[in-house]
Amino acid sequence: MLIGVAAIAFSSCKKDEVRTVINVGTAPTLTATPTTLVLLQANANNNAIKFTYTTDANFGFDAAVTYVLQISKGGTSFASASTTEVGLSKTPPLEKTFKVVDFNRELLKIINYGVATAVEVRVKASVAAAAPALYSNVVTLTCTAYPDLITYSFPDAMNIPGDFQGWSPATAPQIVNKNNGGYTNATNN
């Protein structure tokens, strides 16, 4: 009899599972204005570029989606060593505007300054490390970054003219005071 009761008890159990399945769904979209940029330090506080994107990535279930803007040197297929990422907001307006100084800082992580270089940008939408991400269309830019130079003046720095540069103090290389610990060379030579 005990076996009969146990058999009825186990056979009447029914699993009510809700399984979440990740589906590859709708990818975000991206546009950029302008697509050719020559950045200058003199314009550091001006707007450089505006990215507009969608946040309608759909993974097949209600998920907390994270969106990042991936900026990569052209032709590298977004390899990690040549890509930088910037977080994006999910609340309107769905746009990211960079000041010249901020976009230049991101570019210097992946390209050399002073040379027009192809840069590729896309939006990455993800829900978890183990789940496949969704990617927007790739926008190709042509960007020229500038070296981020700091201008010092006396007494924080001294110009050191010489015969090698025509004895012109205004165009001479500088040495910079290191917090009252002596001076060091601050040139890019």
The string of pLDDT tens digits covering residues 3-58 is 654 555 555 555 666 655 556 678 899 999 999 999 999 999 999 999 999 988 87
DSSP labels, 52-107: EE------SS----EEEEEEEETTSTT-GGGEEEEE--SSSS-EEEEEHHHHHHHH
pLDDT of residue 76: 96
87: β partners: 68
pLDDT score of 15: 60
Task: Output the pLDDT for position 188.
Answer: 47
Measured CA distances, 186 to 104, 154, 189 (Å): 21, 13, 9
pLDDT at 1 over 50: yes
CB 35 within 8 A of CB 140: yes
Instruction: Give the residue from 188, 64, 49 showing the smallest Cα distance to 106.
Output: 49
pLDDT at 189: 42
Residue range 122-170, pLDDT digits in tens:
999 998 777 888 999 999 999 999 998 777 777 778 888 899 889 998 8
What integer pLDDT is reported at residue 160 of this predicted model? 86
pLDDT in tens, 65-102: 899 999 999 999 999 889 999 999 998 899 999 999 99
- Can you list the alpha helix ranges (DSSP code H) found in the chain? 2-11, 100-108
